[in-house]
Amino acid sequence: MKNPITNSPVKLVPQLGSAQTGVTKYGATLGLPAGLGAMLSTHESELTALHNTYQTAKTDAKNATAAKNTALKAGRTFGTLVREMRKPILGHKYSQFWDAFGITGTMRIPHRIEPLVMMLGTMGSHLTANPAFGSEDAGLTGAQAEVLKNNLTNSRATATDKKSALQLANIARMTKAKEVQVALRELFSVLVFKLTPLDPRWLEFGFNKPGALPVPEVPVNVTALVLGGNNISVKWPAAARAQHYRAWMRLVGEPEWTSLGSSADLAFLIENAPSNAQLEVAISAVNNGGESAKSTIVTVVTV
C-alpha cells in the first residue's frame, strides 16, 4: 500500500503524533536514531504554533475585509443620499454643477475605493463650505463625509496589511510543513530496513503497511434469496482487490450487525435464519490492507 505524506499542516500534525508514538514505543528495540522522538515533538509544536498563527491571521484578514466592505458601503450610501437630496436643485442628469460634490462625468456613485475616497473628499469640502447643501439632521455634513473618507482609507490600509500578514503566515507554515514531510519521509526510509512490509507496527508509526493492498472496493449488486428451511443464499460479483468476503446480518430495526463468517467465493449460505422475520443482509470485502464498507443492504423476509 502506498504511503503518501500529505502537505496539509492540519493532517501532518496527527501524523507527527503517530510517528512519535511509534518512536517512543519501538525506538530502542529497532535501533532508531537517538533524539528522533524529540525532533518530531519539536516539529509538531512548531507546526501547530505556525498553523494557529495562520488561522488567527486568516480570521483577522476576513474581519478586515468585512470592515473595508462596510466602510465602502457606508461611503456609497452617504454619496447616494447627498446626490438624491440635491437632484431637485441640480437636476437628474449630470452637469458641471455636480463637480463641486465630487460627482464627475456621470451620476453614478463609485464602487471602487479610490474614486470613492476622492468623491467623499470633494463632497465633504463642499458641504463644509456650504452647510445648507447638506442636512445636519440626516447626518449629511462635511464632517461626516470626512469621517467616512478616513474610515474607508484606514480600513483599506488595514485590510491590505492583514492580507500581507496572512500571506506571510501561510508561507511560514507551509515551509515548516515541507520540513515535516522530509522528516517523515526519512523516518519511513529508516523503517523500511527495520520492519517487514506487513509488520503491524507500521500502523503505530502512522504509516500504511507497504506490503498491504489498498482496501477493497465495496461489493455491489448483492442478491439474497430465501430457500427452504429459512436458509438464505447470498451472491455477489467480485470486488476489486478483495481476497475474501464477510457476510453480515441483522433484524430490521436493530442497530447492531452480526458477522456470520467469511467466504473466499462469491456466495454465502446463511443457514437456519430466524423465522417470521425481516432480515437485512450485507457483504464487505477484505484483504490484507483492511476491510471495505458494507454493501447496499438487501432485505429478506423469512417464513
The CATH number covering residue 282 comes to: 2.60.40.10
Read off the pLDDT of residues 238-256 as tens digits, 9 standing for 90 and up. Answer: 999 999 999 999 999 999 9
In which band, very low, low, confident or very high, does the pLDDT at 2 lie, cut at 50, 70 and 90?
Answer: confident
Tell me: do 242 and 203 sit in the same domain.
no
Mean pLDDT of 147-176: 98
Report the distance separating Cα 257 and Cα 250, nearest Å.
5
Mean pLDDT of 69-93: 97
Which residues form the domain of 231? 223-301
Query: Which of the listed residues 188, 212, 236 is the one where a domain comes to its end?
Result: 212
> What is the total count of domains within the chain?
2
The answer to whether 135 touches 143, Cβ cutoff 8 Å, is no
* pLDDT of 228 over the 90 cut: no
Tell me: do 237 and 114 sit in the same domain.
no
Q: How far apart are the first and last CA of the chain?
A: 46
Confirm whether 264 is domain-assigned: yes
Q: Is the pTM of this model over 0.85?
A: no
Read off the pLDDT of residues 77-86 as tens digits, 9 standing for 90 and up. Answer: 999 999 999 9
Report the distance separating Cα 4 and Cα 11, nearest Å.
12
Contacts of 166 (CB under 8 A, 6+ apart): 54, 57, 58, 60, 61
Smallest CA-to-CA distance from 109 within 97, 88, 96, 94 is with 94
The answer to whether 239 touches 282, Cβ cutoff 8 Å, is no
Tell me: do 167 and 231 sit in the same domain.
no
Contacts of 262 (CB under 8 A, 6+ apart): 244, 245, 246, 247, 286
Q: What percent of the chain has pLDDT over 90?
A: 97
The x, y and z cell numbers of residue 194, run together, are 527495520
Mean pLDDT of 57-67: 98
Please give the mean pLDDT across all residues of the chain.
Answer: 96
* pLDDT of 198 over the 90 cut: yes
Q: Look up residue 143 and give its amino acid.
A: A
Confirm whether 217 is domain-assigned: no
The x, y and z cell numbers of residue 267, run together, are 456466495
Tell me: do 151 and 259 sit in the same domain.
no
Mean pLDDT of 181-207: 96
Tell me: do 175 and 277 sit in the same domain.
no
pLDDT given for residue 229 in this prediction: 84
Confirm whether 248 is domain-assigned: yes
Tell me: do 39 and 62 sit in the same domain.
yes
Report the distance separating Cα 49 and Cα 39, nearest Å.
15
Tell me: do 246 and 270 sit in the same domain.
yes
The answer to whether 293 touches 215, Cβ cutoff 8 Å, is no
